Amino acid sequence: MGATIIGTGKAVPAFKVTNHRLSQIVDTSDEWIVPRTGIHERPIATAETATDLASAAARRALGWEAGAGLAPTETIDAASIDLVVCMTLTGDAIIPSQAALVKARLGLPNAVAFDLNAACAGCVYGLATAQSMMAAAQAPGWAGNHVRRALVIGVERMSRILDWTDRATCVLFGDGAGAVVLEWRDGATGIASSFLKNTDDEALTLACGKNYDMSSFPFGDEMVLAGEGPDATAGPQADVSRDAIVHDDHARAVMGSPFISMTGQKVFKFATSAIVEAIGTALDRAGWELADIDAIVPHQANERIIRYAAKKLGVPEDLFQVSIGTAGNASAASALMALDDAWRSGKLHAGDKAIMVGFGGGLTSGAIAFEA
């Protein structure tokens, strides 16, 4: 306990794509998208890099730039940031990490920086990881890094991994970044509990492959399909075919594709049970009751998932921050963007008890209970 959110910020691309605009690209309509998802428009990065978005969100969270949902009460010195964690699926590069790019852009001389991929539950995993590093450093005799202030950022350009001819997925996602500054405060509650869970996604209901360029790979003759002997057609997909997870044509196709694929109804079923389980477990671990909670900030995948959770938990829908209408699903960035909105709209106030909850590919799920 003691890891407290002292600043929040978000940044979204300037270009917005409405449902009507999408209906000119694929066979869809506002009438189909809104009732099923709650999405009216989504920001899409046409000019901004992930580093631009993440750095802008971070500058607001640090109080270096106006526009924070929660601005820190004091100026944050760049040298006081010990850690940068970036949760992303769609950063600007594999090397350097997105976090390293942001650290360099912002000029944070003492921060250690790394990325974390927990898909759409990234916000929760990132905050829980930073909190764990802070808490570990409190142990007597601790001989590792001392983390007292961390910048935790979710950033996505989901537009880069969408098949813009696939109406089942391209209407759902958006781009953006959300950031928080987390500070260890002796005696403060801050993050009171966390719950992280992984459920095997054997059917690959939510997947996006990696398309390595294998054109210079000199060992094609040696490549082996899982259990099938030498692969005479070694090429870009051959690397994927050796992966233990690939055991059928569906898996081979999705793991060999650079685009997101999703079996919507199965993911919906997973998400609705995962969100309820994660909220309940984080509450139990904190020793809090649902009635104590002033706000819930969920991953923004679908407004119907949020409504389902409210009904199942027996709480009013307006306990939940809903930002998806103008954001779409920005994966690892979405709950942090929603957190910034919750502060700005007055849904969250200092001293409130709140939950952040996420779920996504992997399949990942989790929640943190925290005092604002």
Q: Which residues are near ligand COA by CB under 6 A?
A: 28, 32-33, 36-37, 120, 167-168, 171, 262, 264-265, 267-268, 271, 301-302, 305, 329, 360
Q: Which residue type occupies 227?
A: G
Distance in Å from the first CA to the final CA of the chain: 13
Q: Which is nearer to ligand COA, 86 or 330 (CB)?
A: 330
Minimal distance, residue 186 CB to ligand COA, in Å: 36
CB of 154 to ligand COA, least distance (A): 13
Q: Which of 86, 120, 123, 208 is catalytic?
A: 120
Shorter beta-carbon distance to ligand COA: residue 270 or 343: 270
Q: For the chain, how big is the Rg over CA atoms in Å?
A: 21
* 20 is a catalytic site residue: no
CB of 12 to ligand COA, least distance (A): 18
**Distance in Å, CB of 170 to ligand COA, minimum:** 8
Closest distance of CB 353 from ligand COA, Å: 25
User: Which of 15, 268 has the CB closer to ligand COA?
Assistant: 268
36 vs 146, beta carbon nearer ligand COA: 36
DSSP letters, 205-242, are SEE-------TT-TTGGG-EETTTEE-TT-SHHHHHHT
Q: Is residue 337 classed exposed, middle or buried when 0-12, 13-18 and 19+ CB atoms within 10 A define those classes?
A: buried
Question: Bridge partners of 18?
Answer: 41
Contact 310, 316 (CB under 8 A): yes
- What region, left, alpha or beta, does residue 136 occupy, with left being phi > 0 and alpha being psi -120 to 50 degrees? alpha
- DSSP code of residue 320: B
Residue keyed to tokens 């709650």? 38
CA distance 48 to 70: 24
**CB-closest chain residue to ligand COA:** 264
Q: What is the per-residue burial (b if ≥16 Cβ within 10 Å, else e) of 239-258?
A: bbbeeeebeeeebbbbbbbe
Using the minimum distance from each CB to ligand COA, give the nearer residue, 17 or 234: 17
**C-beta of 282: minimal distance to ligand COA in Å?**
18
User: Token pair of 105, please?
Assistant: 């852009």
Residue with tokens 């079996």: 263
- Pick the catalytic residue: 19, 86, 208, 299? 299
Among residues 81 and 355, whose Cβ is nearest to ligand COA? 355
List, by residue number, the catalytic residues. Answer: 120, 299, 329
